[in-house]
Chain A
């Protein structure tokens, strides 16, 4: 149990570290939009601002997936389950963790497939002609990094941990 708790702590810390990529993407989004609007008053514009902001959004969300899950930051309806007996709670929590794990493993796998399709067809963005596939791989990376968080959650749940 102690080793699981310790491993969980390391993984949560790693999720926080990965989240810096997301945080940086949000600051960049703010700077690019502001810069673009300000430059527009001087009849300039940042080329490809539109698509850059979209790609930064993809990075921001993908790389905040592990942190948000580790922080239990997702909306769930917490009305019924806390009123159930302990065994039922453990079973439901464990099933939830397992379902989440399978879901994100599948999204990661399919994003890798989708990314390689885009890579093979040389799909690029409209203005900057930036390849799109690295950002799809980014989504896959975010989902893959989320999996250890969900595995730890499952292990803790199976052992009856009830931290939320």
Chain B
């Protein structure tokens, strides 16, 4: 058997066995070791595995992940989410669907300090669902908005998927972060528009809430200031090149912790939970990165990543068609596989193709993040929908999936706008 055949068997095995429920990181490592061992030698495969694992675990560049995760976890456990929601609510709560709009606003704000879609959905779910219930919002609107709002968490910086994509493709994490900002805000606006249209069609979905005086509105802004200050400090320092992504994560975690302690919003128990959740999430991500490293070593000896770009470009198809196919793969994959795992599985295969076709890698990063986030809220495996159903136990899954549809339209429009207008993602990075 030629190395290419073994490589193709390896890829097929990966995509089949991924449904076996073996953790994705473990599976990639096992296939990587067996494949590399078959082509080169098992001694070399085992030897390299230990080196790969240590080099991933002790990589300075990857320590950005636990630090940003820790920052988001502290924000999660210290009530920043409810202060953001409260401020947004006072401004728009009095219009129909206002609480849902406030939820989107608060999700966008929370995303600015939290890089995880699930954490954003879980946090905002806990903070906003009881309020929406109190004002007689229909469950489909309330839960749909929370599930979809989580995807802002991954588009608006910081973002764990951008970090991993940046490391895998050797693109600047700072540039990726800035590139996500405008599409994130655009998505935010489109989601608000969906809510307005939907509640205009069915006013019973989200009745008007109370109206606040200007003084009350302004008073609520104090809850926003700390988030804004942390965001500007962390992202500003990163974009200006004053500190590395890891240092930005460290400073961000430190400042968020300091704010939580000064405001006395973080209990000892909350702190320990934040810390343990951080270790768990970090370990989960880094195990996949280690698995992907071992797997790509196997891919490299098969030469498939180099050949595949050639095969695809030799096809008689326009680059736009190929791009649509790739986006289709991410969309389908995203319905079954976690966004982060999907990015790590596919980047070694698709990334050379993207470069070969002349697409901008930063733009591509934004597009796949958006497309995989669509998968996060579509059946059968809409992770965020499960997260929200964990918070709102009385709402059936079907209702949440129904509520997600208008938000899904907003996401699809954002993606479709990004294809002819890559400037939406690339304008801000071009200013750096």
Contact = CB atoms under 8 A, between A and B. Distances in A.
B275 A27 contact: yes
B24 A76 contact: yes
A78 B381 contact: yes
Interface in A62-90: 62, 64-65, 67-68, 71, 73-81
Q: Which residue, A32, A36, A64, has most C-beta atoms of chain B within 10 A?
A: A64
A13 to B, nearest CB: 13
A106 B294 CA distance: 14
Contact of A99 (B30, B62, B336): B30
A81 to B, nearest CB: 4
A26 B280 contact: no
A74 B26 contact: yes
B213 interface: no
A68 B66 CA distance: 14
Interface string A117-137: 000000000000000000110
B381 A33 contact: no
A37 B254 CA distance: 12
B157 interface: no
Contacts of A95: 20
Nearest to A55: B58
A33 B251 contact: yes
B57 A81 contact: no
B250 A81 contact: no
A35 B34 CA distance: 44
B330 to A, nearest CB: 15
Interface string B42-70: 00001101110110011110110011001
Interface in A88-125: 92-93, 95-96, 99-100, 103, 106-107, 110-111, 113-114
Interface of A: 16, 19, 22-23, 26-27, 29-34, 36-37, 50-51, 53-58, 60-62, 64-65, 67-68, 71, 73-81, 92-93, 95-96, 99-100, 103, 106-107, 110-111, 113-114, 135-136, 139
Interface of B: 18-26, 29-30, 33, 46-47, 49-51, 53-54, 57-60, 62-63, 66-67, 70, 242-243, 246-247, 249-251, 253-254, 257, 272, 275-276, 278-284, 286-288, 336-338, 340-341, 380-381
8 contacts: A19-B276, A37-B250, A65-B287, A68-B287, A77-B381, A78-B21, A107-B50, A114-B51
Given A33-B247, A103-B33, 14 more contacts: A34-B254, A54-B60, A55-B58, A67-B279, A74-B287, A75-B24, A75-B338, A76-B21, A76-B24, A77-B341, A80-B20, A96-B20, A99-B22, A113-B47
For the complex of A and B, 9 pairs with smallest distance between CB atoms = A33-B250, A74-B23, A110-B50, A58-B58, A64-B279, A68-B283, A64-B283, A114-B50, A80-B19
